[in-house]
Amino acid sequence: MSTPRVWGLMCPGFREEVTRARRWTRDILSDHPCADDAELIVSELGSNALTHTASGRDFGTFQLTLSLSSRAVAISVTDAGGRPEPHLTEANLYDTHGRGLSIVMALACRLDITGNKHGRTITAQLVAPEAGVTTC
């Protein structure tokens, strides 16, 4: 078993930083089988950090960490905290928001939320399927 490699990126609390975080993720995971799902998760978790926490306020930041092995990717986004706690919502058909965490949960094999109102880390784990296996 190989040792995972870890990368980190600190992002100022501006909307365009989500685009930069996606591009950074895509560059690191260019040939990894989980690259597309990881990029979408980074987008959702980064956007949630800016929309729902102090990370999106003046001088706010969020941190993205990628841990990579040959078959697995762990994506962690740490925000500046605030209320409310992350939770699933049921979006109406024409709502433009409210599906992010549901999308992340559908893609990830595991989702962990740690922290409190002073800062939270959401970690999504992806595992590439073995040949002939389609589930985590």
Residue 79 lies in a domain: yes
**What pLDDT score does 122 carry?**
95
For 81, the domain range is 5-127
Residue 123 lies in a domain: yes
Question: Which CATH number covers residue 53?
Answer: 3.30.565.10
Tell me how many domains the chain contains. Answer: 1
Question: What does the chain look like in DSSP terms, one character per residue?
Answer: -PPPEEEEEEEES-THHHHHHHHHHHHHTTT-TTHHHHHHHHHHHHHHHHHHSGGGSTT-EEEEEEEE-SSEEEEEEE----SSPP------TT-SSS-HHHHHHHH-SEEEEEEETTEEEEEEEEEPPPTT----
Sequential pLDDT tens for the chain (136 residues): 567 899 999 999 999 999 999 999 999 999 899 999 999 999 999 999 999 999 999 999 999 999 998 889 999 999 999 876 765 667 666 655 655 788 898 999 999 999 998 999 999 999 988 754 444 4
Residue 136 lies in a domain: no
Residue 132 lies in a domain: no
